[in-house]
A and B are shown apart, each in its own frame.
Chain A
Amino acid sequence: MKFLTLLVFAGAAMAQTPQSQSIEARLTALDSAVKSAQSAGDNAWMLMSAALVLMMTGPGLALFYGGLVRRKNVLGTMMQSFILMAVITALWAVVGYSLVFAEGNPVVGDLRYAFLRGVGIAPNADYAATIPQQTFMVYQLMFAIITPALISGAFAERMKFSAMLLFTVLWALIVYFPMAHMVWGKGGLLSASLGGKIPCFDFAGGTVVHITSGVSALVCALYLGKRVGYPHEQMKPHSVVLSVIGACLLWVGWFGFNAGSALAASGLATSAFVATHFGAAAATLGWMLAEWIRTGKPSVLGAISGCVAGLVAITPASGFVQPFPALLIGFLAGIVCYYMATLVKHQFGYDDSLDAFGVHGAGGTLGAILTGLFATSAINDSFKDSAGKTLALGWVDGNPGQVLNQAIGTAVAWGLAIVGTLIVLKICDAMIGVRVDEEHEITGLDLSMHGEEGYFFES
Chain B
Amino acid sequence: MKKIEAIIQPFKLEPVKEALKTIGIDGMTITEVRGHGRQKGHKEVYRGQEYNVDLLPKMKLELVVADARLDEVLRTLTSAARTGKIGDGKVFVYDVAEAIRIRNDDRGEAAL
- Complex interface residues of chain A between 164 and 217 (CB less than 8 A to chain B): none
Q: Which of A299-317 contact B (CB under 8 A)?
A: 299, 301-302, 305
* A342 and B47 alpha carbons, distance in the complex (Å): 6
Task: Please determine whether B51 and A236 come into contact, CB atoms closer than 8 angstroms.
Answer: yes
- Chain A residues within an 8 Å CB radius of B45: 295, 297, 299
Contact call B51/A234, Cβ cutoff below 8 A? yes
A237 at the interface (CB under 8 A from B): yes
Name the B residues within 8 Å of A342 (CB-CB).
Answer: 47-49
The answer, yes or no, to whether B94 is at the interface (CB within 8 Å) is: no
- Kindly list chain A residues whose C-beta atoms are within 8 Å of the C-beta of B44: 236
How far is it, in angstroms, between the C-alpha of A236 and the C-alpha of B55 when the chains are bound? 14
In the complex, which residue of chain B has the Cβ closest to the Cβ of A299?
B45
* B interface residue count range (under 10 / 10 to 19 / 20 to 34 / 35 or more): under 10
CA distance A346 to B47 in the complex (A): 10
Tell me, yes or no, whether A112 is within 8 Å of chain B by CB: no
Residues of chain A contacted by B48 (CB below 8 angstroms) = 295, 341-343, 345-346
Taken residue by residue from 301 to 343, chain A's Cβ proximity to chain B (1 for < 8 Å, 0 otherwise) reads as 1100100000000000000000000000000000000000111
Give the residues from 113 to 139 in chain A that come closer than 8 angstroms, CB to CB, to chain B: none
A305 to B46, CA, bound (A): 11
Per the bound structure, the CA–CA distance linking A131 and B51 in Å amounts to 52
Give the docked Cα–Cα distance between A297 and B46 (Å): 11
CB interface residues, A 405-440, toward B, < 8 Å:
none
- In the docked arrangement, what's the CA distance between A236 and B49, Å? 9
Name the A residues within 8 Å of B51 (CB-CB): 234, 236
Task: Tell me whether A355 and B49 are in contact (CB under 8 A).
Answer: no
- Chain A nearest CB from B41 CB (Å) reads 12
Task: Say if the beta carbon of A231 comes within 8 Å of chain B.
Answer: yes
Q: Which residues of B contact A301 (CB under 8 A)?
A: 46-47
Assembled-state Cα–Cα distance A355/B49 (Å) = 12
Chain A, residue nearest B48 (CB): A342
Contact at A302–B49, with CB atoms within 8 Å? no
Considering the complex of A and B, which 3 residue pairs feature the smallest CB-CB distances, nearest first?
A342-B48, A234-B51, A341-B47
- Interface residues in chain B, defined as those with a beta carbon under 8 Å from any beta carbon in chain A: 44-49, 51
Sample of 24 A–B contacts (CB below 8 Å): A231-B49, A234-B51, A236-B44, A236-B46, A236-B51, A237-B46, A295-B45, A295-B48, A297-B45, A299-B45, A299-B46, A301-B46, A301-B47, A302-B47, A305-B47, A341-B47, A342-B47, A342-B48, A342-B49, A343-B48, A345-B48, A346-B48, A346-B49, A355-B47
Given pairs A295-B48, A342-B49, 7 additional interface contacts (CB within 8 A)? A231-B49, A236-B44, A295-B45, A299-B46, A341-B48, A342-B48, A346-B49
